[in-house]
């Protein structure tokens, strides 16, 4: 059987994009999917997958940006961030089937509340990165007023002030694994809070994009960055309008991003 390998680098949301794209591609062409080590796949979702061989025994590499050029090839290693509309070869039903929390994880997260409205603030390294915009808190509050959401009920979620629940240590590490750089599960309360919110205002972030796709919201709004500079002194904390839906691009400056309209089935 041919193989599809996938390099699982990056943060939580980036890895979900990579796995969903690679898994669907492998299924379409009758391949065995192998990934670089990604312990969350099993620990959180119960996904069983093979581990790809390490360099120099790996397969020829192909980049997601050039997807049109290698679409249909097998026995390749996929690298890059499949965050363009052309990469959405899977459906929301596929994603919800693959990314379903194990009962043990759901039990740990049982105390995460369902809030009326949540806003994801994606700041962190965006503050110093020249390619991203940090959306001001006022932008979210104005969006509440515009769309008839009670701003007094809006809960902000950010990595600067992560949510916590009992029994989930932000510094948790998988016992018995040699690598100490494997991320823990301390981000899960934030992710699940965003998933469970009745109304979600997402950030220009893969983290809250996936929370919107995997959750069951009444309404979702995303930032419309068209015409807003991301360079020089103009970038940083800016006022950005919101549009209804989860389809707005994660960035406007890179051709590797586009509208992301995931089909239901």
pLDDT score recorded for residue 181: 38
Longest alpha-carbon distance in the chain: 56
Q: Which of 53, 76, 100 is the last residue of a domain?
A: 100
Structural domain containing residue 123: 115-244
Q: Which of 100, 124, 159 is the last residue of a domain?
A: 100
Say whether both 151 and 214 belong to one domain: yes
Over the chain (265 residues), the average pLDDT of each successive run of 10 is 92 95 97 90 86 79 96 96 97 98 88 94 70 86 98 91 64 40 71 97 96 97 86 65 96 87 96
pLDDT digits (tens, 9 = 90+) for 63-93: 999 999 999 999 999 999 999 999 999 999 9
Q: Which among 214, 187, 192 is positioned nearest to 11, based on CA atoms?
A: 187
* Category of 186 on φ-ψ map: left (φ > 0), alpha (ψ -120 to 50) or beta: alpha
Total domain count, the chain: 2
Say whether both 121 and 222 belong to one domain: yes
Q: Rounded to whole angstroms, how far apart are CA atoms 2 and 54?
A: 17
Look at strands 117-121 and 50-51 and give their pairing: unpaired
pLDDT score recorded for residue 172: 47
């Amino acid at each position: 059987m041919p193989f599809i390998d996938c390099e699982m680098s990056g943060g939580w949301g980036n890895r979900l994009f990579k796995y969903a794209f690679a898994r669907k591609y492998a299924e379409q062409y009758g391949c065995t999917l192998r990934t670089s080590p990604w312990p969350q796949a099993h620990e959180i979702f119960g996904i069983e997958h093979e581990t790809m061989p390490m360099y120099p025994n790996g397969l020829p590499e192909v980049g997601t940006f050039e997807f049109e050029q290698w679409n249909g090839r097998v026995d390749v290693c996929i690298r890059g961030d499949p965050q363009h509309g052309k990469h959405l070869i899977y459906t929301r039903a596929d994603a919800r089937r693959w990314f379903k929390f194990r009962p043990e994880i759901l039990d740990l997260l049982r105390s995460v509340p369902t809030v009326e409205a949540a806003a994801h603030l994606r700041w962190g390294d965006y503050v110093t990165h020249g390619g991203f915009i940090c959306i001001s808190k006022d932008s979210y509050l104005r969006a509440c007023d515009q769309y008839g959401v009670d701003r007094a009920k809006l809960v902000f979620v950010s990595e600067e002030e992560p949510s916590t629940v009992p029994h989930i240590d932000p510094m948790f590490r998988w016992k018995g694994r040699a690598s100490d750089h494997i991320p823990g599960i301390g981000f899960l309360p934030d992710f699940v809070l965003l998933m469970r919110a009745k109304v979600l205002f997402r950030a220009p972030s893969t983290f809250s994009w996936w929370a919107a796709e995997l959750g069951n919201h009444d309404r979702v709004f995303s930032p419309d960055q068209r015409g807003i500079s991301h360079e020089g002194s103009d970038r940083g904390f800016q006022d950005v309008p919101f549009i209804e839906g989860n389809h707005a691009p994660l960035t406007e400056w890179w051709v590797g991003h586009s509208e992301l309209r995931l089909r239901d089935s």
